[in-house]
Chains A and B, each alone.
Chain A
Amino acid sequence: MIEIKNVSLWLGDDFQVLKDVSARFQKGRTTVICGPSGSGKSSLLRCINRLERFQRGEIIVDGLSVQDPNTDIYKLRENIGMVFQHFDLYPHMTALDNITLAPQKVRGRSRKTAETKALQLLERVGIEDKANSFPAELSGGQQQRVAIARSLAMEPRIMLFDEPTSALDPEMIGEVLDVMIDLALEGMTMIVVTHEMGFAKKVAQEIIFMDHGEIVEAKNTGVFFTHPDHPRTRDFLNRILSHV
């Protein structure tokens, strides 16, 4: 479980990116975070695995406070997978090596064990034939699926997705979402920043709407679409839903 308590984050020259944000994410549930560009969605995700350090508040993951000096953040990160908008595969390594690197270096698995597992994961995301391809030889959708496999190889308990499909051509969005839907249905704890409302309706139990560094609205999926409280949420929904 992840608990975010009154987190405030300032970046650069005192620009407040997160303003007193609080939220809870239950085990085995999928939460979608949406909101306009610059509202602090990526920053919030990065605070959860301490890729960003916040100045106020507390985040507790599986009982450990992420910014507590006594917390082994590296150990904690092993259990929190993260998938990025621009895939960020290691371009000098094959898909297979991208996936096996962390299990070998961080978890101390043998190459053979790591590769067997990696091949299973590649099969699961539907690109077992691309094991020996370099990222530059893969389509965006394939790269993102390798990136998901790379995270899953560490056998995380939590997965964070930061706009995983927004850099993809439309015809490739489906193949990535399908992988994510499977994961969600298998009971992975997921926090997904996305504007794919079809995905949200299908698998998310909760939806959070952020604007200007604040959580404006957090609701069960059904209620969120039918009875949003806040005018800003309604505006936003109108804009992105009419877009499709």
Chain B
Amino acid sequence: MDWTVVSRNMDFLLGGLGVTFQLAAISLAGGVLFGILLGLARISSKRCISCPATLYIHFFRSQPLILVIFWFYFFVPVLFGKPMGTFISAVIGFIAFEAAYFAEIIRGGIQSIPKGQVLAAYSTGMKYHQVMRYIVLPQALKNMLPALMTQSIVLFQDTSLAYVIGLREFLRRISLVDSREVRSIELYFFAALVYLVICLSMSLLVRRFEHKAHQSV
């Protein structure tokens, strides 16, 4: 055992963790925003809006994430007409994929708001976007915060899959160091430890939120 392999490469590995966090954060923000739109579209009473959204959600939920990542890796350059780099490809792939999951959470959250409030709001002359913005979404987002955070943890772990397209995020860098120094046990143990600490602290945070949400009912 030689644990100095970790400290010797700490800067390189932390840099990778930085990439992981960036990827997770951007995908999360994009996924939630796109997910809100998808979720709203899914429950729209207009068929021409709800049908495509439903198809989209079913499609992406049926695909393995790794395939989606590969797919966008090849597709994004075609879409933009020039190579955009692995990071951008990964971000777009993650947003497209995660939005389908967030959409379902958001749909549940929106449907948990009593219809009467929506009717009451409309009866005062409010428009759809106002009813959503002032009445439905503030309550729905609060109700689904625990589910959203749990999905965010999954998203954080999933970012490691971006290594398949060569993105130098945390796990990719672990394996790069390993191929140079052949210290698999130490390096992968360290990687596991890092994911454990980060995800555990996030779930503890979720638990506190769940507790709070429970108390406020």
Question: Which A residues form the contact surface with B (CB < 8 A)?
Answer: 46, 49, 51, 74-75, 77-78, 80-82, 84, 86, 88-92, 101-102, 105-107, 147, 150-151, 154, 160
Contacts and interface: CB of A to CB of B under 8 A. Distances in A.
A121 to B, nearest CB: 13
Interface hub of B119, B125, B138 (most chain A Cβ within 10 A)? B125
Contact of A88 (B116, B125, B138, B139): B116
A105 B134 contact: yes
16 contacts: A74-B125, A75-B125, A78-B124, A80-B123, A81-B123, A88-B119, A89-B120, A90-B121, A91-B117, A92-B138, A92-B139, A102-B124, A106-B125, A106-B126, A147-B120, A150-B120
B124 A84 contact: no
Contact of A86 (B116, B124, B134): B116
Interface in B10-52: none
Contacts of B121: 90, 102
A51 B119 contact: yes
Nearest to A80: B123
Contacts of A75: 125
Contacts of A89: 117, 120
A150 B124 contact: yes
A113 to B, nearest CB: 16
Given A51-B119, A86-B116, A91 B139 contact: yes
Given A92-B139, A101-B134, A84 B126 contact: no
Nearest to A102: B124
Contacts of B120: 82, 84, 88-90, 147, 150
A82 B123 contact: yes
A88 B117 contact: yes
Interface of B: 114, 116-117, 119-127, 130, 134-135, 138-139, 142
A150 B135 CA distance: 14
A102 B125 contact: yes
A10 to B, nearest CB: 15
Nearest to B216: A136
B117 A102 contact: no
Interface hub of B114, B117, B120, B122 (most chain A Cβ within 10 A)? B120
A151 B116 contact: no
B122 A106 contact: no
A81 B125 CA distance: 9
A78 B114 contact: no
Contact of B117 (A49, A82, A90, A151): A90
Interface hub of A77, A80, A105, A107 (most chain B Cβ within 10 A)? A105
Contacts of B124: 77-78, 81, 101-102, 106, 150-151, 154
Given A78-B124, A84-B120, A102-B125, 15 more contacts: A46-B119, A51-B122, A74-B125, A74-B127, A78-B125, A82-B120, A84-B116, A86-B116, A88-B120, A89-B117, A90-B117, A90-B134, A101-B124, A102-B121, A105-B134
Nearest to B114: A88
A191 B185 CA distance: 77
A105 B116 contact: no
A77 B119 CA distance: 11
Nearest to B139: A92
Contacts of B114: 86, 88
A184 to B, nearest CB: 19
Contacts of B139: 91-92
A92 B116 CA distance: 14
A75 B124 CA distance: 9
Contacts of B127: 74
| Chain A to chain B: the 7 pairs with minimum beta-carbon distance, closest first | A102-B124, A88-B116, A78-B125, A82-B123, A88-B120, A106-B125, A77-B125
A71 to B, nearest CB: 13
Contacts of A46: 119
A75 B130 CA distance: 14
A168 to B, nearest CB: 15
Contact of A105 (B117, B119, B126, B138): B126
